[in-house]
């Protein structure tokens, strides 16, 4: 058993696609018309993973206070460095997690204002 997809609320699907493919190396697994309002069924695929990310319509434009996603990346510091070079908003710099010694985490915002945590484990 595995999770087929998790939902991520976005305002602009094309902008979100560009963010996740350009900054994190994800790919578009599905992009098809959905409904009659111009919205599409867009699933992003994470490299070498079964779970996909479904881009759903966001209800408001307020940046999220709570994390929308928690990602695992072996080299958090390198990823945050690449995101900084791409002028992505970094909420917290890489640091050791007080709840798990040896685990490094950081936070950033995606193109849609979602708060994303990245952790080394």
Question: What pLDDT, in 10s, does the model give residues 93-111?
Answer: 999 999 999 999 999 999 9
pLDDT at 37: 84
More confident residue, 37 or 5: 5
Give the burial class of 69: count Cβ atoms within 10 A of its Cβ; 0-12 exposed, 13-18 middle, 19 or more buried.
Answer: middle
pLDDT at 36: 78
Q: What element of type H or E holds 98?
A: none
Question: What pLDDT, in 10s, does the model give residues 14-34?
Answer: 999 999 999 999 999 999 999
CA 29/CA 10 separation, integer angstroms: 17
Q: What count of other Cβ atoms lies within 10 Å of the Cβ of residue 114? A: 20
Question: What pLDDT, in 10s, does the model give residues 69-97?
Answer: 999 999 999 999 999 999 999 999 999 99
What's the distance, Cα to Cα, between the start and end of the chain in Å?
Answer: 21
Q: Give me the long-range contacts of 88-96 (CB less than 8 A, separation at least 24).
A: 88/23, 91/115
Domain containing 64 — which CATH number? 3.10.180.10
pLDDT at 88: 98
> How many domains is the chain partitioned into structurally?
1
Q: Is the pLDDT at 59 greater than 90, yes or no?
A: no
DSSP for 5-63, please give it: EEEEEES-HHHHHHHHHHHH--EEEEEEE-SSSS-EEEEEE-TT-S-EEEEEE-S--SP
Q: Which residues form the domain of 15? A: 5-119
pLDDT at 2: 86
Global confidence as pTM: 0.92
């Amino acid at each position: 058993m595995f999770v087929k997809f998790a939902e991520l609320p976005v305002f602009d699907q094309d902008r979100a696609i560009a963010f996740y493919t350009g900054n994190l190396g994800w790919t578009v697994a599905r992009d098809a018309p959905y409904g009659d309002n111009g919205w599409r069924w867009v699933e992003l695929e994470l490299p070498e993973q079964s779970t996909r990310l479904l881009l759903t319509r966001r209800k408001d434009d307020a940046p999220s206070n709570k994390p929308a996603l928690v990602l695992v990346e072996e080299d958090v510091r390198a990823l945050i460095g690449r995101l900084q070079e791409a002028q992505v908003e970094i909420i917290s710099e890489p640091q050791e997690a007080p709840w798990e010694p040896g685990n490094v985490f950081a936070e950033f915002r995606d193109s849609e204002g979602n708060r994303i945590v990245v952790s080394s484990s």
